[in-house]
Amino acid sequence: MSKQASRSCDPRKVNGELFTLTYGALVAQLLRDYEDDEEVNKQLEKMGYNIGVRLIEDFLARTNTGRCNDFRETADIISKMAFKMYLGITPVVSNWSAAGDEFSLLIENNPLIDFVELPDGHNALNYSSLLCGVLRGALEMVQMEVDVKFVQDQLKGDSVTELRLKFVKRLEDAVPVGED
Amino acid sequence: MADEVLFELFHSEIVAFLYRTTDKEDQDQCIAKLESLGFRVGQSLVERFTKDCSRFKDDLDIMKFICKDFWNSVFKKQVDNLRTNHQGVYVLQDNRFRFLTQISNGKQFMDAAPKYLAMACGIIRGSLANIGINSVVTAEVSAMPACKFQIQLQRT
């Protein structure tokens, strides 16, 4: 019998696919459970928020970044460090508002949507809603209240995925939620 | 290419989410849901994973593949011990299972263990199913983070 070919495979790659596939399975499950796109968006966003709240700790511990002086610096760190580290991509920061409190993240190769095709009748679904939640949760933990929403989505035929981040206000040092 | 930490947080959030959104009396369903979620993931994962592989010779060969390459990619290490009774029952022991390492080192939080293993069981069952083997996969923990998976092949 012939010798077996080695089945070596890049573990990092598989790990990325594991994440993508798990995410896909989850979204499919949520669509079955809720049968309403808006509700699925909301739940995904909420899950993202919970992840972001914890992910920021990991990020700060691993990167040694200090406090940001302005929102532009925040944008840079999000795209060049955070996205790079966790998803292996670097979104383009663009479309700054005149006041400098709003910008867009243009994601060209969103890893969450590999192998995904949106079936008809789900126009309201923002497949990658998790990302919005993660960004919002993580930034909230460094005292920035930010509004994140989808402007363009590759799954709906746009050429890029565009996330719009809007700085709402600076959160004052406060007692953590759930403690008196 | 998603980072490990991201996946681990994501996994625990899925577990937490299902339990949060399910009524108290229906919570036994959560395990089944997690399992079927994992099944789907395992199915597609193994398909992409074995596309350049040579054919498997027999069941044991498949099990070895699961213990080594598959485990390595999905759970970041190899299975520590593989045992079989040569009648279709395989026991895979992992002394440091990825989803449990952050939870506890010992007997604390033992009640929580099953829900963090359900998806892994599903992943294994799903991948075996797509290789062409129907099986029943159960997990057993005596002290975290060590864990035993029992795979029972179903002959038809």
pLDDT tens track for A51-81: 999 999 999 999 988 888 889 999 999 999 9
Q: What pLDDT, on a 0 to 100 scale, did the predictor assign at position A73?
A: 93
Q: What pLDDT, on a 0 to 100 scale, did the predictor assign at position A4?
A: 44
* CA-closest candidate to residue B39, choices B130, B152, B116, B112: B130
pLDDT bucket at A2, cuts 50 / 70 / 90: very low
CA A72 centroid distance within chain: 18
Q: What pLDDT, on a 0 to 100 scale, did the predictor assign at position A64?
A: 87
State whether residue B3 sits within 8 Å of chain A by CB: yes
Residues of chain B positioned with their CB less than 8 A from the CB of A141: none
Residues of chain A positioned with their CB less than 8 A from the CB of B57: 1
Whether B17 sits inside 8 A of A86 (CB atoms) is: no
Q: What pLDDT, on a 0 to 100 scale, did the predictor assign at position A83?
A: 92
pLDDT tens column, A165-180: 999 988 887 666 676 5
> Are B147 and B85 within 8 A, CB to CB?
no
Q: Which of A5, A25, A55 sits opposite B9 (nearest CB)?
A: A55
**How far is A145 from chain B, CA to nearest CA, in Å?**
22
With CA atoms as reference, the chain A residue closest to B44 would be: A21
pTM for this prediction: 0.88
Residues of chain B positioned with their CB less than 8 A from the CB of A26: 14, 37
* CA-closest candidate to residue B99, choices B2, B26, B12, B1: B12
Q: What pLDDT, on a 0 to 100 scale, did the predictor assign at position B142?
A: 85
Any idea how long chain B is?
Answer: 156
State whether residue A22 sits within 8 Å of chain B by CB: yes
Per-residue pLDDT of chain B (156 residues; tens, 9 = 90+): 567 888 889 999 999 999 988 888 888 889 999 999 999 999 998 888 887 777 888 888 889 888 988 888 888 888 999 999 988 899 999 999 988 988 888 888 888 888 899 999 999 999 999 988 899 999 999 888 899 999 999 876
**DSSP single-letter state for residue A53:** H
> Are B136 and B156 within 8 A, CB to CB?
no
For range A41-47, the mean pLDDT: 95
Would you say residue A3 has pLDDT above 60?
no
Q: What pLDDT, on a 0 to 100 scale, did the predictor assign at position A1?
A: 40
pLDDT tens column, A75-108: 999 999 999 999 989 999 999 999 999 999 999 8
State whether residue B51 sits within 8 Å of chain A by CB: no
Q: How many angstroms separate the Cα of B47 from the Cα of each of A32, B54, B69? A: 24, 13, 14
Q: How many angstroms separate the Cα of B112 from the Cα of each of B12, B94, B99, B134? A: 11, 18, 11, 27
Dihedral (CA of B107, B27, B36, A121) sign = negative
* CA-closest candidate to residue A112, choices A41, A18, A12, A46: A18
> Are B80 and B116 within 8 A, CB to CB?
no
Whether A54 sits inside 8 A of B16 (CB atoms) is: no
**How far is B81 from chain A, CA to nearest CA, in Å?**
20
Give the ipTM: 0.89
Whether B73 sits inside 8 A of A25 (CB atoms) is: no
- Cis peptide preceding B114, ω within 30 of 0: no
